Amino acid sequence: MSTEEKMGSGVRSGTMTTGQNRLNFKVNQAALAYAMTTLGASMINNIFSFYYVKLFINEYKTSETAFHQSQLVFMVWNALNDPLFGYLQDNSRMRCCSQRRLSILYGAPLYSLSFLLPWFPWRSYYPGDWLSGLHLMVALCAFDGLLTFVLLAQCALFAEISSNHRNRIRLVQYGQVASLMGSSSILFCGVLSRNMEDFAAFQAFSVLVAVLSCCCMLYTGFYSQSRYDYKGCSPGEACIDDQTPPVSFAMLRTLMWQILTNGDFQLFVTMNFFQVFMLAFLNNFTMIFTEQLIPANVLPPLAKSLMYGAGFICPQLLVLSCQRLLHDIGYYRIILYTFYLEAGLAALVLVLGPQHYYVLAFFLTFTMVLIQACFSLFGLPLADIIDADLLRHKRSSPLSSMVFGTNALFTKPGQSLAPMMVLSILNQFGYERRKDAAEADLQLLHSVMFYLVCLVPMCVATVQALVWRRYSIRNSHTVDTKYIDS
């Protein structure tokens, strides 16, 4: 049975009795195994990205210089490790790298363990302690390196489980349900630790989440399959270890050039860079902006915890509710309309002003939801780009990990640039000295924050819309299958 048939019937093996089909028709096993990594990763990724900036700046008192140094090192490492891991996973002779499920199986425990690095200080830090800066650098690089190794393999699975658009939509559906469940970790973490005020409770919860996430990703490692896992290993043929050419810099350069000269890939990467920038901007600073711009008597701590939780949970509900639209008009138009909506809402809030607290709270939450929901669809255009690359260069198997990794080479720097740029702007207007600042200085700081909240999304969405309008793969949702799965 082909992978297309597996995805359609929801079974892992080739034959199944009628009774077994009645038992399993509601659960697609291939999609479930794929989505378990999404569940585990979303549990820890959201907590990490949402809390680490506040922890190191407000609790560990890391200096701005050390923070920027750590982010610069992280930015370089973050960009380079993706294409390197992608090349290894697509071309390595070691099965722990070349088989997607084994990459997840062996990488998941280390990935979950690296999540715990930031939450346990190496000593009692004093303000400006150099060790807290080193701690931040190690935590960022270790977590991102292992995240990359595991999630690149999962991204490759998305493109390789099936080439059928409907089956890929099914993977998106299962992934969004898993992400919805995993994103609830933000809500529970905020409520149980009172938004990290009870740090011991926060640490205990982070350990529990790390264990659960590891177990989820191990399920993928044991049960997921790619169409290309056993390519070349059928009876009478040489195994992949014998067929794969040796890893070399010349081959890496050639493959990278072939990917980079794809016009649609260039447009997607440009648009995606700004999306990653916006995600980092909102994940890292929504809590800070909310605490400074919305008084506690307007939004109490519990309401703010629910607001933060909604920002991570509602994107999945939005994507799940738009499945019919994905089938009818395709991801291209949905992504484009999202940029229009984002820019329009930002302009409206800018006109209304900062004194409308509930409008501001809604805008911050809705923008987080909109940007994350849109980002959740980006696997679809990348999968189409991988399909086009496979046909264009007549490859025997797709360069799935390399395409995802090369995309990350140019987009991941946005994760570091956003906190560096925003923190520099805020400190220029007295954020570090806000507790001792005069009322006039505090009002100026709040005005700068408000303009950042409005102008950054408005300008970024406008640029993204202009770039995305030139993307040419617009009708893959109307094509049942682009090539035959074998």
How confident is the model over 421-440, as pLDDT tens digits?
998 999 898 888 777 778 88
- 39 vs 34: CA distance, rounded Å: 9
- Domain 27-228 belongs in CATH node 1.10.3720.10: no
User: What confidence category does residue 229 fall into, taking pLDDT thresholds of 50, 70 and 90?
Assistant: low
| Region 58-76 average pLDDT | 91
| Region 210-223 average pLDDT | 95
pLDDT higher than threshold 60 for residue 242:
no
- The domain at 248-477 falls in which architecture? Up-down Bundle (1.20)
Q: Looking at residue 251, what is its pLDDT?
A: 80
Q: Is 263 helix (H, G, I), strand (E, B) or coil?
A: helix
Report the interhelical angle of 130-161 vs 29-54 (nearest 10°): 160
DSSP string of 19-74? HHHHHHTT--HHHHHHHHHHHHHHHHHHHHHHHHHHIIIIIS---HHHHHHHHHHH
Q: Looking at residue 197, what is its pLDDT?
A: 87
Q: Looking at residue 484, what is its pLDDT?
A: 38
User: What confidence category does residue 451 fall into, taking pLDDT thresholds of 50, 70 and 90?
Assistant: very high
**Mean of the per-residue pLDDT values of the chain:** 85
27-228 and 248-477: identical CATH topology: yes
**Where is average pLDDT lowest: 114-123, 140-149, 220-229, 302-311?**
220-229
pLDDT higher than threshold 70 for residue 387:
yes
User: What confidence category does residue 12 fall into, taking pLDDT thresholds of 50, 70 and 90?
Assistant: very low
Percentage with pLDDT > 70 across the chain: 88
Q: Looking at residue 268, what is its pLDDT?
A: 96
- Which pair of tokens denotes residue 390? 């496979």
Q: Looking at residue 320, what is its pLDDT?
A: 86
User: What confidence category does residue 136 fall into, taking pLDDT thresholds of 50, 70 and 90?
Assistant: very high
Q: Looking at residue 239, what is its pLDDT?
A: 46
The domain spans of the chain are: 27-228, 248-477
Pick from 133-147, 168-182, 183-197, 395-409 the range whose average pLDDT is largest.
Answer: 133-147
- Which pair of tokens denotes residue 442? 């505090």
